[in-house]
Structure formats: structure tokens, C-alpha cells
Amino acid sequence: MRYVRFSHAGTTAYGILEAGRVRPMDGTPFDGFVLSNDTYALDSVHLLSPCIPTKGVCIGLNYRDHAEEIHAQVPKNPVVFIKPTGCTIGPYASIVYPALSKRVDYEGELAIVIGRLTKKIAKEEAASHILGYTCANDVTARDLQPPDGQWTVAKGFDTFMPIGPAISTDVDPSALAIECRLNGEVRQRSNTRNLLFSCHFLVSYLSHIMTLYPGDVILTGTPSGIGPMKPGDVVEVEIEGIGTLRNTVTA
């Protein structure tokens, strides 16, 4: 199943994607729902972020090749930081280039979407707490990211967490092809089998630190190939079995 959230004719709803059409639901994927008998053509709806996270919990340096490219040590424990809820935007929305930065980078990432209240769970329980997976871009003001300091400023600007287009429930997160393109040119290409810390481990680990709420997202880290974007650019993150998250950059 692939869940989306969308607006159509002035109303906002969750729905499922099937054969290029959107079938709305009464309810949400988090609380239970009844599917409508109607469907809409995908290009007749405005897709929104597929969930509304209270926070994005992000993992740094979770691919060995990326740690090496920025000359960082491969971490013994996950490097964790938070993006505030205002970072969230959906597919096709604009990433706004902040006046405070002179270098804003893309980071294509697999995101875990939490399905229910999650607190102090074992790794073996993680799957039952995950609704599914989506694409994310951990947009980063690289020039404002101190190597050994906290990353909230560099990672926390409004619009710096595009997610979408859909939440896929039927993918194996341990082996998904991931690609990030800038203006159609491939810049990052890897597979989630290269993750240092697995999705199930991360959900369990984080749940012993903070409560995770339905709709919260965990960005699992980026592979090598990070680089800058500028206003006017189009950035795409494509993950096998999920789809393509496409955003533009505006000044």
C-alpha cells in the first residue's frame, strides 16, 4: 500500500495510490480509515507531505562512504539531531534558500514513518511500530554546519525537510536502491544495504531517548555525493518501491 496526503477542491485528506489514481479515505493511516468508492486522477490533486511529523529525527554519518567524503570518523553510536516540524514540506513544494547561507546542500535519504506511539521498545518490536517508508531530503546549510558542534541551525531552516511523495508499507528497508538527482543529473546513488545502523535498530535506539509519535519521521542518513544547490534547481530523491520526491529551490 502507498499512502498519500493531498488537497482537492478545498479539502485535505489522506488516501492511497493505486494505478495512478488517488482513492481518498475517511480517517487516517494512523487511526484507522474507510476507503472511498471514488478515485481522483493523480494529476488532479495537490500532493502534500504524506504525514505531519512533530519532529524529524535525523541520523548523521550512517553510510560509510559519506563519512569518508567529509573526513569524519565512522560513529560507534548513531549521530542524532532534530529538525523542527516547520522544516516539513511535501513533494513539488519549494525549498527556500535562506539569506543567512551561501551553500545549501541536498542529502537524499530513506525516511522511516512511525505508525504509533513508540517508547522504549526492543529492536524486534520495531516493525510493528513503523507505518512505512518515504523519501526525504535532509537539506543542509553546509556553511553553517560546524564539524564538532550542534547542527540545529544548519539543518533547521523552514522548508529544509521535504518528504514524500508517498508512504510505502511494502518495502524491505534493508535493500532499497536510492538515488538523488540535481537538474536530472545523478549525484548520489547507493543502496540502503550500506546503512551502518539499520532502520529497526534506529527505531528501538531512539525510542529509549524520546517518545516517537505517529507521523514522526526518522531520516536514516545520506550516502556519498552530497553537493550544493542554487535557486532555480530541481532536486529529486528516488527510492525503489516508494517513488520520486521532487522539489525546486527558490531564493
Nearest position to Mg ion, beta carbon:
138
Residue pair 235/184 in contact (Cβ under 8 Å)? The answer is: no
Question: Restricting to residues 118-157, which ones interact with Mg ion according to CB under 5 A?
Answer: 138
Using the rule CB under 5 A, which residue among 176, 222, 229, 242 binds Mg ion? 222
Residue pair 80/56 in contact (Cβ under 8 Å)? The answer is: no
If the CB atoms of residues 14 and 160 are measured against Mg ion, the closer one turns out to be 160
Report, in Å, the least distance between residue 60 CB and Mg ion.
6
Using the rule CB under 5 A, which residue among 105, 107, 236, 238 binds Mg ion? 107
Residues 51-90, one symbol each (x = binds Mg ion by CB under 5 A, - = not), give ----------------------------------------
Size of the site for Mg ion (CB under 5 A): 3
Report, in Å, the least distance between residue 125 CB and Mg ion.
26
Report, in Å, the least distance between residue 62 CB and Mg ion.
8
If the CB atoms of residues 45 and 217 are measured against Mg ion, the closer one turns out to be 217
Stretch that binds Mg ion, among 36-44, 101-109, 163-171, 188-196 (CB under 5 A): 101-109
Q: Print the SS3 string covering 101-162.
A: CCCEEECEEEEEEECCCECCCCHHHHHHHEEEEEEEECCEEHHHCCCCCCCHHHHCCCCCEE
Of residues 67, 5, 17, the one with CA closest to residue 223: 67
Q: Which residues pair with 141 in a beta bridge?
A: 104
SS3 175: coil
* Helical H segments across the chain, by residue range: 64-69, 152-155, 199-207
Q: Is 192 in the site for Mg ion (CB under 5 A)?
A: no
Q: Which residues pair with 56 in a beta bridge?
A: 83, 217
Count Cβ atoms below 10 Å from residue 127 Cβ, excluding itself: 12
Residues lying near Mg ion in the complex (CB under 5 A) are found at: 107, 138, 222
